[in-house]
Amino acid sequence: MAAFCVLAAGGCATHPSAPVVTNAPEPKVSSSNLRGLSLQLIQKMEAEQKWYAAISYLDRYLKEWPASDQTDLLRARALAATGEPAQAERYFQRVLHTPLAAQGYQGLGLIAARGGDVTRAIRLFQRATREDPTNAGILNDLGYAALQGKNWDVARNALFRAGELAPQDERVWSNIALYYLLRGDGFRAQQIMGAHHFSWAVSQRIRREANQMTGVPTSAGDHPPAAATAPSGAVMPAFPNPPLTQLFSSGNAGPATEPRSVP
């Protein structure tokens, strides 16, 4: 009986078997996900200012999927950046009655501004801000166009709104400094540039632009600025956050500083 139990125990014992290896199925990317990834790639190309590459990827995209408001806007921007304003305008027009209307009016405004039609640019940017009142980029464009058109009230309102909506956008504060230079308030302009740690090159670029807008020879602003001296009785204003430079120009105005309130 004992032997039987031992044999039975031996016969009942289990032995580990070799592991079974199975290949996990490769994840499938749905058509909608692939479409979204393709759009993201095009947006990345444009963010890196690879405009011709963006157009090529748009052409490839349209071989797989139909055009949309988003692709029309992306193509419009790429065409505008590659020197095709007439074609770009047609694509911007297509999105004016869509949820992307604000970007459409903004694009048309940029084309008008680059073509020298400041009055039309201001009107288009104002329409864009009505479509998207909290878009600091559009307000910044409106403010800069208004500076070009010497529409000081519109410029001040748009730029200070942009400064409070996007306190870390360095473009806006270079435009506010430019606003004060154009208004003859060099003290405030210098205080802004100092408070926001504008580099020498950026400060000079702002001064040169102010000189160009007022017809002053550019050499007049090529010397290091003297330390700003407050007029007697003047109170140092509390300025908004960082600097800015209009969308029409490239480059950053310098590092962001601690947020402040708009003057």
- Mean pLDDT by runs of 10 across the 263 residues of the chain is 48 54 58 84 93 96 94 96 95 97 97 94 98 96 95 96 85 92 94 87 92 77 44 32 34 34 42
| Dist CA 201 CA 203 (whole Å) | 6
Rg (CA), the chain: 29
**181 neighbors 206 (Cβ within 8 angstroms):** yes
**129 neighbors 113 (Cβ within 8 angstroms):** no
Instruction: Please report, for the chain, how many H helices and E strands are present, in that order.
Output: 12, 0
Confidence (pLDDT) at 167: 79
Confidence (pLDDT) at 229: 39
Confidence (pLDDT) at 28: 61
Report the predicted TM-score, pTM, of the whole model to 2 decimal places.
0.73
Angle, CA 245 vertex, CA 167 and CA 129 arms, to 5°: 65
The residue assigned the tokens 């680059």 is 114
Domains for the chain: give ranges and CATH numbers.
40-133 (1.25.40.10), 169-263 (no CATH)
φ and ψ at residue 95, rounded to 5 degrees: -100, 5
Confidence (pLDDT) at 174: 92
Query: In this structure, what token pair is assigned to residue 151?
Result: 């529409």
**173 neighbors 244 (Cβ within 8 angstroms):** yes
